[in-house]
């Protein structure tokens, strides 16, 4: 027997407690594969470039384009681009929550275009979390790309920003992301 469920400001809706939950997308395996491959590439690039920075920038910065692009080794105990310094534990927990949310939430998506942007965010979060847990940086993240007009950052930070902007654009263009014809 269906029961009525009211929501704020809306008419009651019939809810069938015996109805099965919506089945996962038939494209779920492909979505997860794309997401995980994107994340793996980001983590590999991020960790590889951070290791290069640690190996080659200990003696000082290297100017690639004078006044525009410099590689300079720094450690960031805050979030992306130096936000909220001194809270590495908070950012580690926030990263774990976001990673879990992405992996669980992907089951509800049907549009494969979401996999790459979410993979960028996932890979960037994991790349920075690896620094906080594995590297001897006191919970900080290795940053090394200095544009002189922006806080020093790394590949993980770039991936997170590009992923979030892509998600915002995709969400704006498709509505909620579940319908590829949006």
Query: Residue 83 is part of which domain span?
Result: 27-174
Is there a domain that residue 181 lies in? Answer: no
Is there a domain that residue 15 lies in? Answer: no
Is there a domain that residue 105 lies in? Answer: yes
Is there a domain that residue 132 lies in? Answer: yes
Quote the pTM value.
0.75
Mean confidence (pLDDT) of the chain:
82
Q: Please state, in angstroms and as integers, the Cα–Cα distance from residue 104 to each residue in 24, 30, 45, 99, following that order.
A: 11, 15, 25, 9
CA–CA separation, 42 vs 11, rounded Å? 46
pLDDT band, residue 145 (cuts 50/70/90): very high
| Lowest mean pLDDT segment, chosen from 18-22, 40-44, 56-60, 102-106 | 18-22
Is there a domain that residue 2 lies in? Answer: no
Q: Once rounded to an integer, what is the mean pLDDT over residues 150-177?
A: 88
Is there a domain that residue 180 lies in? Answer: no
Q: What is the pLDDT of residue 36?
A: 93
- The one catalytic residue among 46, 111, 131, 157: 157
Is there a domain that residue 179 lies in? Answer: no
Assess whether 176 carries a catalytic annotation: no
Tally of domains in the chain: 1
Assess whether 157 carries a catalytic annotation: yes
- The one catalytic residue among 46, 111, 131, 143: 143
Q: Once rounded to an integer, what is the mean pLDDT over residues 6-21?
A: 53
Is there a domain that residue 78 lies in? Answer: yes
């Amino acid at each position: 027997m269906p029961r009525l469920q009211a929501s704020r400001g809306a008419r009651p809706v019939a809810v069938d407690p015996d109805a099965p939950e919506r089945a996962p997308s038939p494209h779920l395996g492909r979505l997860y594969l794309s997401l995980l491959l994107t994340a793996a590439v980001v983590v590999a690039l991020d960790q590889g470039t951070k290791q290069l920075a640690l190996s080659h920038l200990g003696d000082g910065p290297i100017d690639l384009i004078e006044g525009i692009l410099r590689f300079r080794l720094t450690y960031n105990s805050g979030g992306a681009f130096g936000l909220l310094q001194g809270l590495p534990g908070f950012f580690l927990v926030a990263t774990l929550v976001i990673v879990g949310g992405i992996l669980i939430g992907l089951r509800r998506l049907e549009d494969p275009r979401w996999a790459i942007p979410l993979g960028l965010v996932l890979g960037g979060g994991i790349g920075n979390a690896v620094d906080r847990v594995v590297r001897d940086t006191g919970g900080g993240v290795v940053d090394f790309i200095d544009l002189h007009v922006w806080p020093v950052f790394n590949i993980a930070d770039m991936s997170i920003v590009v992923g979030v902007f892509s998600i915002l654009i995709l969400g704006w263009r498709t509505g909620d992301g579940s319908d590829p014809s949006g």
